[in-house]
């Protein structure tokens, strides 16, 4: 079995605490026409470099019923900057237009097969995976990006078209797995394309 969720597979459920003091499950987003679940963190330069583009994409498509949910699965034991307290501070400072969830056990990262930060998973109304991979082709320096694969996928899907590129490799720092070296990846994790 592939490490990362494959196209057309259903979104795995979750119940995770958010920085706003609530807990959320997949069903809390049942009204969304499209749900974007993305794995992110507090410290990664690829996340920080592309956050404002991700914000712009989330805001652009909100009127089309697209909801964004961010999940931090990084171990604070591997990188202390990725603590829940750091998540709360980051949301207070940046006021991102998404719910920011904490996956302290890393079970949800494993269920989705998150490889890097950021790693995007786009689900249709039936919560089937229709796109996964990167947001930008240069997330660390978003001003130099030439392709926004996430935005392209959302635009095509909402226009009723087939997604031209439904699968890309996520670009970013690897997920920081608890008890492992900062650069460790599960043996079964591999490039998506």
**Where do the structural domains in the chain lie, given as residue ranges?**
9-174
> Which CATH number, 3.40.50.970, 3.40.30.10, 3.40.630.10, 3.40.50.300, labels domain 9-174?
3.40.30.10
pLDDT above 90: percentage of residues in the chain: 92
87 band by pLDDT with thresholds 50, 70 and 90: very high
Instruction: Give the separation between CA 74 and CA 40, rounded to whole angstroms.
Output: 8
Q: What is the pLDDT of residue 1?
A: 55
Does this model's pTM top 0.95?
yes
Q: Which residues contact 98 (CB under 8 A, 6 or more apart)?
A: 58, 67, 68, 69, 70
Q: What is the pLDDT of residue 188?
A: 86
Of the candidates 158, 91, 111, 105, which has an alpha carbon nearest to the alpha carbon of residue 130? 158
* pLDDT tens-place string over residues 57-77: 999 999 999 999 999 999 999
Peptide bond into 109 cis (omega under 30): no
Q: What rounded mean pLDDT belongs to the chain?
A: 96
Q: H/E/C letters for each residue in 132-147?
A: EECCECCCCCHHHCCC
């Amino acid at each position: 079995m592939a490490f990362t969720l494959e196209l057309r597979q259903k979104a795995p459920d979750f119940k995770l605490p958010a920085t706003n003091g609530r807990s959320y499950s997949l069903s809390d987003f049942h009204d969304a026409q499209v749900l974007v679940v993305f794995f992110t963190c507090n410290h990664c330069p690829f996340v920080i470099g592309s956050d404002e583009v991700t914000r712009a994409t989330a805001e652009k498509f909100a009127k089309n019923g697209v909801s964004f949910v961010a999940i931090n699965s990084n171990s604070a034991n591997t990188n202390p900057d990725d603590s829940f307290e750091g998540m709360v501070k980051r949301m207070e400072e940046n006021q991102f237009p998404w719910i920011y969830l904490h996956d302290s056990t890393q079970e949800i990262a494993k269920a989705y097969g998150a490889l890097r930060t950021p790693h995007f998973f786009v689900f249709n109304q039936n919560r089937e995976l229709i796109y996964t991979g990167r947001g930008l082709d240069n997330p660390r320096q978003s001003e130099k990006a030439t392709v926004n694969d996430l935005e392209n996928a959302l635009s095509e899907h909402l226009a009723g078209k087939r997604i031209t590129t439904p699968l890309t490799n996520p670009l970013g720092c690897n997920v920081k797995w608890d008890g492992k070296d900062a650069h460790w990846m599960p043996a079964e994790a591999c490039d998506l394309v």
